[in-house]
Structure 1
Amino acid sequence: MRRQWLRQAQWVRQLLPACEGDISLAKRQLIWMKEKVLTDSRAGSFSKSSFLTRKEEEQIDCFVKDRVEHNKPLQNTAILRSGHSDKTTRFDSTASVTDIDVSIVRLIIIIRWETEEWTFRLIDHLQAHHIPRPLRVLDICTGSGCIALGLATHLPKNSVEVTGIDISTDAVELANHNRQIHLDRLCNPVAFQHMDVFDFNLQSIDRYDLIVSNPPYITTDEYANLDPDVKDWEDIRALVAEDDGTAIHKRVIELASYIPKNGLPRLVMEMGINQSNALTDAMTLAGFNDIEVWKDLAHKNRAITGT
């Protein structure tokens, strides 16, 4: 008992630099790591007072090392390892998003709870409407495919057809991998394509009914001050945009404005907390109606939508 208590105290001390010296945060992060290890090794049948086996301690050692020495984000610490070696699989980690486990790789943007939150809100909104034919959805900047796969999984069978596009070939490969491992859960078709949003043909946009997007929206000044656990693990193209972080948003708004109005949202898009005024103005000029800003659970402006 004393040995394991000392081991946990050591982990907390090791985590302090990654937690800006906040011992309470370091303790919480260790609890999350422990729960992850115990959930995986004991199928969830554990209590917080459970003693760790040697193998479980070794796994936490790996998590702490990744968090501290490699600036690996906490949500990306669940490394898939081969035995006891340091060799990782092709896909570095998994994360549960919109109730599905998706693979994650370094430099593909890591999905966050705010995105999951508005995706479920959109799912609830669409389920409340009778749609006579499958809704054709375009997911721009799809990344790991989480939003597209969430829609295809949780909306009623044959109610949507989802296409995800991304400028990164690695992201498209990852999204297709995630699609493949969840084929048995998909209620609707979903496909992924390599494409730059600025190359998208305006004449073909009217085949879609709705655009969803989590585009890059960090400014260059904000990027300069980001923590290493973001810079080292996420592709700058998935984070930073010109025009005060709104350049991609404005291109997406332009595309969505060519979608015929159908009474449903034509656009649902994540944004930075200080971008609502600029994007509301851009959507108004593009002819959108019923423009609404969705706040997240932290009461911050998080997504914008319009018909």
Structure 2
Amino acid sequence: MVTIAQLLKEGTRELTRANVPTAGLDAEVLLYNLLGAERAYLYMYREKQVSRETQEKFWCGIKKRAKHMPIQYIVNRQEFMGLDFWVEEGILIPRADTEILVEKVLDIYKNSYDPNMVKIMDMGTGSGAIAVGLAKYIDNCTVAAIDIHPNALKIAEKNADFHKVKDKIMFYLGNLFVPIDKQDEFGTYDIIISNPPYIPSSIIGTLDSNVKDYEPRIALDGGDDGLDFYRKITKEAKKYLKKDSWLLFEIGYDQKEDVSEILNINGFKNVEVFKDLAGLDRVIIGET
């Protein structure tokens, strides 16, 4: 029988040969997920033998990762805002950068709203990471989670159910504001939040293979200049927001000026940009 230590060594060697930059970490992530354990378990029980079934599943995962499939798709798991989310191919993987966006909403809620119910719209919910995170950390809120893809909503609902916030989130299938129009909810939202596709079309092909070859292009491609969805959402957003309410976007590191102009042109005030932990522009907000 093969031990945990031996399996990790061999798996790391295989991923290193495939030029996977996080070979050792990915081998560990794969194995502790297969074992239903935490990472520390691998260090505490390095000489523990691994069953043949687990070995087979491990090597199946290693082969996928060697082809640069994201480890999150292989283990169907990604952490966001301290919460575990189910992810799979076809669904954008939540990033740590997007946590800044959620944290900014939490700041606005804490500083701007009384304990009454806050109504939030999450445009392009994907895995539901933003919607679920907000529903989990804001007691008095409802969230409208919108996506154009049925499978994205299926996964988002699964994550909401897992974190026991499904009763606080309404899921809408459709393109941008179209499904909300049918609800006649004009002027009723306190916050609209979105991490839209914002990568220029011409740049997609230059991204790392684990992104361009596996993550859904529709969740990445923001049109010729990367600004298509900022224009579309901002143009319509004020119809759905109350007075003195907020629109928040995640932005690319070099989009501060362009998106600020879009918000200003559409009548938003108090436009501010906030940086991520790497010191890059990452979140922009505007008030009605």
TM-score under structure 1 normalisation?
A: 0.81
3-state DSSP of counterpart to 2:122: strand
Q: Aligned equivalents of 1:42 and 1:99: distance in 2?
A: 15
* 1:305 CA drift (Å): 0.8
Partner of 1:252: 233
The answer on whether the counterparts of 1:11 and 1:30 sit within 8 Å (CA) in structure 2 is: yes
Partner of 2:59: 61
Q: 1:190 aligns with which of 149, 164, 169?
A: 169
Q: Equivalent residues in 2 for 1:40-51 (5 A)? A: 40-41=36-37, 45=41, 47=43, 50-51=46-47
Partner of 2:207: 226
Cα deviations by residue, 1:96-115 (Å, 9 ceiling, x for unpaired)? 22233222121111111111
3-state DSSP of counterpart to 1:297: coil
Q: Aligned equivalents of 1:233 and 1:63: distance in 2?
A: 15
Q: Aligned equivalents of 2:4 and 2:191: distance in 1?
A: 53
The answer on whether the counterparts of 2:194 and 2:249 sit within 8 Å (CA) in structure 1 is: yes
Letter in 1 for 2:227: T
3-state DSSP of counterpart to 2:126: coil
Q: 1:169 aligns with which of 142, 147, 150?
A: 150
Cα deviations by residue, 1:63-95 (Å, 9 ceiling, x for unpaired)? 3122113x32023331xxxxxxxxxxxxxx122
Cα deviations by residue, 1:255-299 (Å, 9 ceiling, x for unpaired)? 22332322x5x1111111111110001111111112111211111
Q: Aligned equivalents of 2:102 and 2:155: distance in 1?
A: 20
* 1:58 CA drift (Å): 4.0
2:276 pairs with 1:293: no
Moved more, 168-177 or 27-36: 27-36
Partner of 2:11: 11
Q: Aligned equivalents of 2:234 and 2:200: distance in 1?
A: 19
Partner of 1:279: 259
TM-score under structure 2 normalisation?
A: 0.86
The answer on whether the counterparts of 2:2 and 2:49 sit within 8 Å (CA) in structure 1 is: no
Q: 2:243 aligns with which of 255, 258, 261?
A: 261
Q: Aligned equivalents of 2:285 and 2:94: distance in 1?
A: 20
The answer on whether the counterparts of 1:166 and 1:195 sit within 8 Å (CA) in structure 2 is: yes
Unaligned 5+ runs, structure 1: 79-92
Partner of 2:80: 97
Q: Equivalent residues in 2 for 1:205-244 (5 A)? A: 205-244=186-225
Q: Aligned equivalents of 2:47 and 2:102: distance in 1?
A: 38
3-state DSSP of counterpart to 1:19: coil
Q: 1:12 to 1:245 in 2, by over 3 A?
A: same
* RMSD of Structure 2 on Structure 1 (CA): 2.8
Q: Aligned equivalents of 2:81 and 2:2: distance in 1?
A: 40
Q: 1:213 to 1:48 in 2, by over 3 A?
A: farther
Q: Aligned equivalents of 2:78 and 2:172: distance in 1?
A: 22
Number of residue-to-residue matches in the alignment: 282
2:149 pairs with 1:151: no
Letter in 2 for 1:176: E
3-state DSSP of counterpart to 1:163: strand
The answer on whether the counterparts of 1:137 and 1:208 sit within 8 Å (CA) in structure 2 is: yes
The answer on whether the counterparts of 1:136 and 1:208 sit within 8 Å (CA) in structure 2 is: yes
Q: 1:132 to 1:120 in 2, by over 3 A?
A: closer
Q: Give aligned-pair identity as a percent.
A: 27
Letter in 2 for 1:212: I
